[in-house]
Amino acid sequence: PPACRQLVPGSDLLDALDESADGPVWTSLWTAQDQTVTPPDSARIDGALDVEVQSVCPDAQIAHGQLPRDPLVIGLVQRALAVAPLTTAPASGQCAAVRAEGATR
């Protein structure tokens, strides 16, 4: 599929994203319940901030197809794109706050 070819290291799409001297700041959000990307932790990216959604909200029941619309994931994406982006995964004590941020979108 085109999306898979676009995400291969060295693809034209990924190379075009590297516009700064240090390259982009990457964040990988993934779910332990993924049955599309297997094994689920293969969604980790070397050098990126890798966030398993269950590390933020242990009760999160999120499958691959639910990632784009889940309030927790939306909240994490908003934080990753913020002026002061994520540098570490939010602690599980922030679960409710991150979900609430994502629910407002």
User: Does residue 18 carry a pLDDT above 70?
Assistant: no
Q: How many CA atoms lie within 13 A of 105 on its CB side?
A: 16
pLDDT beyond 90 at 47: no
- Of 33 and 5, the one with more pLDDT: 33
Please report the pLDDT score of residue 77 as a whole number.
Answer: 93
pTM over 0.85: no
Structure tokens, 21: 């001297």
pLDDT tens digits, 48-77: 899 999 999 999 999 999 999 999 999 999
Distance CA 25, CA 40 (A): 21
**Tens of pLDDT along 22-46?**
656 789 999 999 999 999 999 998 8
